[in-house]
A and B are shown apart, each in its own frame.
Chain A
Amino acid sequence: MFNRMRNKYTFSKGVDEYFSGIHNAYLFTALFFREAFKRPFHLREVINQCFEVGLKSLALISLTGFIVGIVFTKQSRPSLEDFGATSWLPSLIGIAIIKALGPLVTALICAGKVGSSIGAELGSMRVTEQIDAMEVSAINPFKYLVVTRVIATTLTIPVLALYCSFVALYGSYLNVHAEETSSMISFYQSAFKTISFLDITTSVVKTIVYGFTIGIVGCYKGYHATQGTRGVGKAANQAVVLAMFLIFIEEVIIVQIANWIR
């Protein structure tokens, strides 16, 4: 009891740090919403960051999306053949890719590539006092570094997810076309036949939430990095792990909400 009082911990150091971490993350997110709608908007930096996020991930997303399309088609075909239902293949692929795989694969790749990069960049700026240098030059570092990056990931990741879905569908089409003669237009028509407006909306909303999560988690971890270069590595690592964890939780919640609406 005495030790607890002396160290100012209510429970234990770990429990207190866990809850104060949640509280700090909440304050950080609230500050983002407060600052995002205030002038100046740093539009040029937002555009720069959009290019950074988009270009950094484009090659990897193209490759992964393409492979996901091919592999998923290859894996699904035998099961459908057993039931003589290979004509349903484009619809199955469309549902799987547009409703789940496209957004999720994009989000996971961006969490790894963009989230870690943001965490490491801001972490390195924090430990080398570059963030303090902005502050003493009367520049709001939160607005310039955090707000611009979170807006960039929130805007860019939905576009990347859409692109990933189309590339995956194209990969799938090539696989289907190799097995049986089929035109690209009829493949895409069949793929989208079973997709409703709600499905598309849910996917877009999901990717917006994922984009925001990746940006805010990367920035939060980087902005609060400590302990020198070790802290930078830790911030980058935690940015990826936490963002991925949150993405899976958000996936479950959003799918559940969409099902209620349906």
Chain B
Amino acid sequence: MKKLKQHSIDKEDSVISISGLFKSFDELEVLRGINFQLFKGENVAVLGKSGTGKSVLIKIIIGLLKPDRGEVVVLGQHVAQLESKELNALRIRIGFSFQNSALYDSMNVYQNLAFPLTMNRKNLNKKEVDDAVEEVLEAVGLTDKLKQMPSDLSGGQRKRIGIARTLILKPEIMLYDEPTSGLDPITSAEIIELINEVQQKYNTSSVIITHDLTCAKNSANRIAMLLEGEFLKVGTFDEVFDTNDEQVKAFFDYNFIQ
């Protein structure tokens, strides 16, 4: 498995900065005062049980959800204060890989990949679009699937195409929502390797939402443990799990039993 680059993290340059973030749905308080920083070139895994607000956090980062309180600054811009045009300009610089890939099921693989590109860069000719599609397909190792429909792909292939679709706009930040969920251990390892390759090849900074410790350990420079709407611990894998905290230990044990 391709290992993470440790040396390229720029601790002076924060690409995502979150402070005092709160989010509720009706009476259910999901995020309760989140503070978080992602540095350039860094991969951070946000770990936590289902329903703790992990996906909500990255949806707020990309502006799909609005926070109730708090500040979210991405690439120097306050997300909640952006007009739709500015928000779209920011979104082009962020890649979002969905838990279920969210491929457009009426389009084949080529159309899925070309769609964001042609909609955002109208001046590209057919050859330039074809080249870009080929490049990202090569990056995810699926050059032979160009004409296939999403329904004909396996779960792992769909994840790869989903990641390729985000890469086509050359993002600076990648947000992965449960990249290994629903996959067998071998395919999971391949996706983890792909996440590391993407970081090295495209020099991205990433937030990886997961409850899979193997994924977190092998793809992230730092781990942020989200429990009951707050980050309980943030640090390297060993720093987070070298603890007597019952909740963290229970999470660790549960994963290994699984």
Quick check: which of B44-52, B97-105, B199-207 contacts chain A, the rest being far away?
A: B97-105
Give B60 Cβ to nearest chain A Cβ, in Å.
Answer: 12
A182 at interface, CB cutoff 8 A: no
B231 at interface, CB cutoff 8 A: no
A135 at interface, CB cutoff 8 A: yes
B153 at interface, CB cutoff 8 A: no
Q: How far is the CA of A125 from the CA of B116 in the complex (A)?
A: 16
Instruction: From known contacts A128-B105, A130-B105, A132-B64, infer whether A139 and B100 are also in contact, taking CB-CB under 8 Å.
Output: no
26 CB < 8 A contacts A-B: A8-B26, A40-B122, A121-B106, A124-B105, A128-B100, A128-B102, A129-B99, A129-B100, A129-B102, A130-B102, A130-B103, A130-B105, A133-B96, A133-B98, A136-B62, A136-B64, A137-B91, A137-B115, A137-B119, A138-B92, A138-B116, A138-B119, A138-B169, A139-B116, A140-B88, A144-B119
* Other contacts beyond A139-B115, A139-B119: 18, CB < 8 A: A8-B26, A121-B106, A133-B98, A133-B102, A133-B103, A133-B165, A136-B94, A136-B96, A137-B91, A137-B92, A137-B115, A137-B116, A137-B120, A137-B165, A138-B89, A138-B119, A138-B120, A139-B116
Q: How far is the CA of A14 from the CA of B98 in the complex (A)?
A: 34
- Which residues of chain A come closer than 8 Å to B99, judged between CB atoms? 129
Give A232 Cβ to nearest chain B Cβ, in Å.
Answer: 12
Give the contacts of A124-161 with B (CB-CB under 8 A): 124-125, 128-130, 132-133, 135-140, 144
Give B199 Cβ to nearest chain A Cβ, in Å.
Answer: 19
Give A137 Cβ to nearest chain B Cβ, in Å.
Answer: 4
Number of interface residues, chain A, beta carbon within 8 A: 17
Task: Output the residue of B84, B89, B100, B102 with the most chain A CB within 10 A.
Answer: B102
Give A69 Cβ to nearest chain B Cβ, in Å.
Answer: 36
The residue that A138 contacts in the complex, of B91, B103, B106, B122, with Cβ under 8 A, is B91
Residues of chain A having any CB pair with chain B under 8 Å? 8, 40, 121, 124-125, 128-130, 132-133, 135-140, 144
Q: Across the two chains, which residue of chain B brings its CB closest to A135?
A: B64
Q: How far is the CA of A129 from the CA of B91 in the complex (A)?
A: 16
Q: Across the two chains, which residue of chain A brings its CB closest to B62?
A: A136
Q: How far is the CA of A130 from the CA of B103 in the complex (A)?
A: 6
- Which residues of chain A come closer than 8 Å to B104, judged between CB atoms? 125, 130, 133
Q: How far is the CA of A240 from the CA of B64 in the complex (A)?
A: 29
Q: How far is the CA of A136 from the CA of B88 in the complex (A)?
A: 8
Q: Across the two chains, which residue of chain B brings its CB closest to A137?
A: B116
Q: Across the two chains, which residue of chain A brings its CB closest to B88?
A: A138
Give A132 Cβ to nearest chain B Cβ, in Å.
Answer: 6
Q: How far is the CA of A102 from the CA of B241 in the complex (A)?
A: 72
- Which residues of chain A come closer than 8 Å to B122, judged between CB atoms? 40
Q: How far is the CA of A136 from the CA of B115 in the complex (A)?
A: 13
